[in-house]
Amino acid sequence: MNSGYNITLGDSYIMAVEDSVVQAKRLKHFLDGNNLNNQVFYTATEAYEAAVSTPPILIISDIVMPGMDGYEFCKKLKENPDLKDIPIILLTSLRDPLDIIKGLQAGADNFITKPYEEKYLLSRINYLLANREIRKSGGGEMVLEIVFRGNKYAINSDKKQILDLLLSVYEAAVQRNDELILAQEQLQALNENLTAANRELEAFSYTVSHDLRSPLHTIHGYTQLMLEDYTGKLESEAVGFLDTILVASRNMSQLIDDLLKFSRSGRAIIEKDQVNMSDVANQTMQLIRQRDPLRKVLVKIPEGISGYADKNLMGVVLDNLLGNAWKYSGKNPQAEIEFGQTEVEGEPVYFVKDNGAGFDMDKADTMFNPFERFHSNEDFPGTGVGLATVRRILERHDGRIWAESEVGKGSTFYFTLQH
């Protein structure tokens, strides 16, 4: 584990203060592995008492600890004439520039950012120990006053401490910048791979659509011809078989359509604008009624409902939700469907409500998964892909969807869009 640095402590020891058992063990393993005498403490209070009794040659301390934190611990050490020359390294996340100010106020000598590289920590230990004699001659009595974020701070660290501290902060910034550049390069590579994967998926979707539809249309067409041209010549059982083939081919065609919609919903370019949701709902219901013109359903769609979204994708959302409401209320002679808007905890929420078959809420957690169905095809035909498509579209709008239902008493689907 030794990385080439040659540090000799003799009978002296390095003090490590860390309240996390895992981090403390990691620190001890690191120091032991580099043949550095050490003692580990879990609280700053017991560490200070030990330092007074047997001063260490260097201290490594976490900042966030119960009771006395790292800043208080550091300041208390620097105020003790017998301990003030001991170099102190503070372990911190450095998420706020105020951390540096607090470290300077406390008289810290170095910052090491978490998570730290062991090689870098070893170099800082080596540096501080090699320069500890210089530190003893530095005049630390001068008090500097600085103003940061409108507040005045008194800094009594010597010039060497300030330089060491700022150098450690600079090194941490350079390291993080290098990590960001590497992360950016990796992200760019991932984006390029994703773009290529999307192109392949689009080609695959086209192939599925074309290659599956062609034989399916052949099956459907010839089955239809046989039913039309040979009905009188076929036994009733054979006609039943053909009817089954016809229904199955229609279901297969619908499944292909739904799968393609689901695939495209995750890749479609979103163009958001202010959308008249009432108009989209009315247009959607007109198309649904055309598919089943003899059915009488009371539909309520108030005027003036709007939202910021992609109009075409909202058409897909409402086609699925209103289409489901139409389908699952099909056995109720007094069927009612309502599209509206309400408010939940100050957030605008849209809903589609019906008084149809409903479902068991114990199953609600899985209802938005692809191919998940709560009713048989004999009762209510479908593919189980529509709600998964709806959820994907709404997630791409930074929205969400959920449902409330009771068996035999209908369902209400709620969804939100980004504010």
Within-domain flag for 328: yes
With both helix axes pointing from N to C terminus, report the angle between 386-396 and 311-328 in degrees, rounded to the nearest 10: 150
Asked if 149 and 276 sit in the same domain, the reply is no
For residues 284 and 415, membership in a common domain is answered with: yes
CA dist., res. 301 & res. 284, Å (int): 11
Instruction: For residue range 70-79, list pLDDT tens digits in order.
Output: 999 999 998 9
Q: How many helices (H) and strands (E) does the chain have?
A: 11, 14
Express each pLDDT in 128-154 by its tens digit.
Answer: 887 765 555 444 444 455 555 556 555
Nearest-CA neighbor of 78 among 65, 93, 59, 97? Answer: 59
Q: Is the predicted pLDDT of residue 326 greater than 80, yes or no?
A: yes
- Residue 295: inside a domain, yes or no? yes
- Domain contains 336: yes
**Start-to-end CA span in the chain (Å):** 54
pLDDT at 375: 66
Is residue 347 a part of any domain in this protein?
Answer: yes
Taking only the tens place, the pLDDT of each residue in 246-290 is 877 776 776 677 667 666 665 667 788 899 999 999 998 988 888
Locus of tokens 């039913």: 227
Q: What angle, 0 to 180 degrees and rounded to 10, lies between the N-to-C axes of helices 236-265 and 311-328?
A: 150
**Residue 332 and residue 296: Cα distance in Å, rounded?**
10
Does a structural domain hold residue 296?
yes
CATH number for the domain including 317? 3.30.565.10
Q: What is the mean pLDDT of the chain?
A: 80
pLDDT at residue 237 tops 90:
no
CATH number, domain at 86?
A: 3.40.50.2300
Domain boundary among 157, 178, 202: 157
Number of domains making up the chain: 2
Amino acid 335 reads: A
Q: Tell me whether residue 169 is in a domain.
A: no
The residue segments making up the domain with residue 31 are 14-157
- Residue 203's pLDDT is 67
Q: Which of 135, 157, 179 is the last residue of a domain?
A: 157
Among 111, 126, 157, residue at a domain's last position: 157
Q: Is there a domain that residue 374 lies in? A: yes
What pLDDT is attached to residue 5?
Answer: 42
The pTM for the full model equals: 0.46
pLDDT value of residue 139: 44
Residue 178 covered by a domain: no
Mean pLDDT, range 182-206, rounded to an integer: 74
Model pLDDT for residues 109-131, shown as the tens digit of each residue = 887 877 778 888 888 888 888 77
Rounded Cα gap, residues 243 and 227, in angstroms: 8
Local confidence band at 1 (pLDDT 50, 70, 90 cut-offs): very low
